[in-house]
Amino acid sequence: MEHKNNQLNTFWQLTQDDALHLLDTTVTGLSSSHAIERLEQYGANTLKKASKFNNLVLLLSQFKSPVTLLLIAAALLSAGLGDMADTLIIIGIVLVSSILGFWQERGAAGAVNELLKMVQLHCTVLRNGKKTELEVTGVVPGDVICLSAGDIVPADCLIIESEALFVDEASFTGETYPVEKNPGIERANTPLARRNNCLFMGSSVVSGIGKALIVQTGRNTEFGKISNDLLLKAPETDFERGIRKFGYMLMEITLLLVLVIFAINVLLHKLVLDSFLFSLALAVGLTPQLLPAIITVNLSSGARRMAKQKVIVKRLSAIENFGSMNILCSDKTGTITEGKVNLKDTLDFRGEHNDKVFTYAWLNARSQQGFVNPIDVAICSAGIGQKHVEPFSVITEIPYDFIRKRLTVQLKSQAANLAITKGALSVILDICSRVEVSESVIEDIGDRKQAILDLYHKLSDLGLRTLGVAYKEVADDQVFTRDNENNMVFLGFVTLFDPPRAGMLQTIETLQNLGIKLKIITGDNAPVALNLAQQIGFQSVRILTGQQMRNMSNSALRHSAPLTDIFAEVEPSQKERIISILKKAGNVVGFMGDGINDAPALHTADVGISVNSAVDVAKEAADIVLLNQDLNVLINGVTEGRKTFTNTMKYIFMATSANFGNMFSMAGASLFLPFLPLLPKQILLTNLLTDFPEMTISSDKVDDINVKTPQRWDLRFIQRFMIVFGLLSSVFDYLTFAVLIFVLHANEKVFQTGWFTESVISAILIVLVVRTRLSFMKSLPGKYLSLVTTGIMCLVLAIPFSPFAAMFGFITLSWKYYVLMMGTVIAYILSAELAKQWFYKRIAK
């Protein structure tokens, strides 16, 4: 067994027969029963380690906060000193808070995993001798897979068959250009970049077709070995960066406040343990403990709502960028247009209808075995009923690739042996030296080339996509290769059209109203793109061609790109450059693509958007996958993304207003009171109760003003908000202190009960004010937020009268306090409403 494994570890030196023998399989693949046995033996084809303790790890992660750990340690120290009641209460509150966070995150993670199953990658596997579509996680060593352009290689394989198979291995070798792969044997010490008989997990097929034998899966692949040392992580989004900086800011404030308060309380000869516990409880009060859970719940709830709009979010943090997006770059086919290419006509070099051009184009389209594309589908659909199928057999195929931009097939019949080429007109003309002027009459192309180009431009001006068709007679014993693509005969044109989607004018207007500018990036020529733009209502269109971009410096393009509406005649490599330039100009850029050559641009964009029918390599690179290739679906997703971002920020605003104000007030009060304003367990209970309403934020209503414009993370805005509303909160806190001390002459327990009651009620009610930029009465909260807020308020009012009051150190209060507290809370709410209007008019600008 060990010898067998050693041989498989260097499988590139094996012959095809040896590899098949070692893996106990055949060129027709495994049976279903054998595949099931091997799946149990080798495990799923994934880089993620299976874990039986995911829930336990998630639960334990709720206690990873240093403050929480310190609090538990201090509570245990208190137990050692004999104060078991306080110990149990503090630990109980920490447990409830942590379990709450665990329950929320577990539910969110489960929901997201269910959504991701909708966009799983698949591959074509030979099972029981037949082609079968299978999730890539289900392939096993010994499987035989069929590959074509656009596929992602699911595991490490040995090539069995190939036809012009070119693969992108840049992630392994750094090689920019695709590598041609062929069956064969390599030496044992051949470096990875030179193993031309192998395919590796994570690489992608650029062109051609092939079959390969899977040898290594999962973490045993080359990609798996890399991930053992370097786990690939997606770039940090603006939202994630903002949350991290916000966390650092709170940590700095908390650490400073805790150290100062602890030191002063000790200097004032208060009990060291009580002072320490009070300081830690203050830290807990300042720290939005549920922030990770709240963010996860908000984003996953947003992902579920977006799924109902047929938008699947693969990466939750991308929702923020989705809501921030102000430029959307998109190909035209299938997005701006119907995506159903229709054959318009087939013409000879003079522009007259010609049946032979159609026949040759149809033979070329229906004979190719590579990546299925809309043009070939349109030609084949128009040719149903043709009677030219039987006499011809396919000898060879030179698949389409993005360098040659053409497809050639060699067909043989009893009467002829022909190579037929179809592709972009300019590259077809480059390989033609002759032209067919009438049936069987061929002349030198000579001066006619210019007339052909003029006709091509005329057809393009009419909005027609125009291809060229050429052919060449081949000797009976010759197999046509790409080196033979020369001295061909130009036969004529194939014209196609793809009408704009119905309602596209309204869709683009809606995008503009949402603050999103649409830019079209297409490989079609400028006249075709211009014609489409005019059809969908673009005014004063600015077009930039690929040729013009090649002659522009990055600084010049940075100036021109934001002002450009259409990028035409764009080469695949230029898409990524356009996206990068637009990002450097300060925009949040989305890119919508579904092709093989779109993957780099999808990865570079702030929001990579693809569709479920896209090729694997595009779908894998995307952050968001649309189940329906329609910009209206995208608009719905943008709206939901902005709602999700807004609801997440509501929790941030709460944490930086009521929490900060209350904790700052308690810290200050502890300096002049002969007792602690709240006991540690009371602070923790306050923090727990104020967190409950915020858990319903994800279902809260969102104002139209937050949906109409792109949303961006702004730490300076949050800091200003914290200062203004934190200070306002403290003003009314100290007013409450004055009422308790000078009006009610409160002792320790009365003060703590009264302050606890007012603190929690004011904190949960102020959320209803700061959750919206509008007046509270013009933007009422959602049903669940209203219900939970009311429930918590009733609970807080009932606690001093409950059997648990003594446990927490509370006593009943006189009706006079409740009247005064009501007046204070109402004044606070009204003042906050006025402060909010002033803040958004003056400070927030």
Rounded CA separation 503/577 (Å): 31
How open is the CA angle 752-63-89, to the nearest 5 degrees? 35
Residue 772 DSSP one-character state: -
* Residue 441: both structure tokens together: 């009459």
Answer yes or no: are the C-beta atoms of 527 and 337 closer than 8 Å: no
Residue 373 and residue 364: Cα distance in Å, rounded?
Answer: 13
Catalytic residue flag (residue 331): yes
- Cα gap 643→298, rounded to integer Å: 9
Nearest to 769 by CA among 653, 649, 686: 653
Query: What are the angstrom distances between the C-alpha of 178 and each of 168, 173, 174, 193, 226?
Result: 5, 11, 11, 11, 21
Q: How many CA atoms lie within 13 A of 474 on its CB side?
A: 24
Q: Annotated catalytic residue: which of 156, 168, 331, 616?
A: 331
Residue-wise DSSP of 698-732: GGS---HHHHSS-----HHHHHHHHHHHHHHHHHH
Rounded-to-integer distance, Cα 612 and Cα 691, Å: 39
What is the β-pairing status of strands 198-199 and 156-168? antiparallel
- What is the C-alpha to C-alpha distance for residues 103 and 713, in angstroms, rounded to an integer? 27
φ, ψ dihedrals at 345, nearest 5°: -170, 165
Cα(801)–Cα(778) distance, integer angstroms = 36
- Phi-psi region for residue 841, left (φ > 0), alpha (ψ -120 to 50) or beta? alpha
Tell me the C-alpha distance between 644 and 700, whole Å.
10
DSSP, collapsed to helix, strand or coil, labels residue 562 as: helix
Written as six digits, the tokens of 768 are 């209803």
Residue with token string 């149809």? 362
What's at 273, amino acid-wise? L
DSSP per-residue letters across 92-135: HHHHHHHHHHHHHHHHHHHHHHHHHGGG--EEEEEETTEEEEEE
**Exposure of 51 in the CB half-sphere (CA atoms within 13 A):** 9
Q: Are 351 and 327 in contact (CB under 8 A)?
A: no
- Tokens 């996953």 belong to 300
What angle (nearest 5°) sits at the alpha carbon of residue 818, between those of residues 830 and 793?
A: 70
Identity of the amino acid at 813: L
Q: Are 788 and 689 in contact (CB under 8 A)?
A: no
Residues pairing with 465 in the sheet? 496
**Both ends of the chain: CA-CA distance in Å?**
71
Q: Determine the 3-state secondary structure of 347 from DSSP.
A: strand
Contact 361, 380 (CB under 8 A): no
Q: Note the residue count of the chain.
A: 845
* Catalytic positions: 331
